[in-house]
Amino acid sequence: MSFKRPPANATRSEKEAYVKALAAISISIFALCLAITNYFAGRNSSAVLNNTIAANNLWTWYGTKNVRATIHEVAGSKDEVVRLRSDMEEIEAKARAAEAARDAAKTKSPWFSYSAMALQLAIVLSSAAILAVMMTLFYVSLGVGGIGALLFFIALGA
């Protein structure tokens, strides 16, 4: 494996060895970045799902407390109604917090997808650069991979 740039009058085989050496490293790096992106995307999907379930459970609990409060109100148990309404306020705050966490995770999801797509495309372009023995295609793959990495960091910060 030679990282020394071949001269302009080099044979196709010498140029191919050079492109292979560089592309092999870039493919490995892009694959690693893709694995990391998919890991974080999976965690993000889990956060969306878990917070959706938590919010649904809390709102169901809220509704149950509301029904009980109405029953006690009709029965004339004012102390119990006050306690249940207080519980409802706490439950509502928790449900809204779960919804906010879910919504924050939802805004990240597309960015992880865009990042993974760009990294996959960069892997394909690096592979094509080997087959075509084209440094231009290799440089394009680096640019696309860089965009994929940038999109990953946007997803983390979103």
> pLDDT truncated to tens, each residue of the chain (158 aa)?
556 777 777 787 777 888 888 999 999 999 999 999 999 999 999 999 999 999 999 999 999 999 999 999 999 899 999 999 999 999 999 999 999 999 999 999 999 999 999 999 999 999 999 998 889 999 999 999 999 999 999 999 87
Helix/strand/coil for 133: coil
- Assigned domain for 125 exists: yes
Name the domain count of the chain: 1
Domain for residue 65, yes or no? yes
Q: Summarize the chain as % helix, strand, coil (round to 5).
A: 90, 0, 10
Tokens of 89: 């306020």
Residue 5 belongs to some domain of the structure: no
Evaluate whether residue 4 is within a structural domain.
Answer: no
Give the range of the structural domain holding residue 58, as residue numbers without chain letter. Answer: 12-157
Q: Is residue 37, in this structure, part of any structural domain at all?
A: yes
Helices 135-157 and 78-132: crossing angle, nearest 10°?
170
Q: How far apart are CA 144 and CA 33, in angstroms?
A: 13
Q: What is the pTM of this model?
A: 0.81
Query: With contact defined as beta carbons under 8 Å apart, do 86 and 64 qualify?
Result: no
Residue 23 lies in a domain: yes
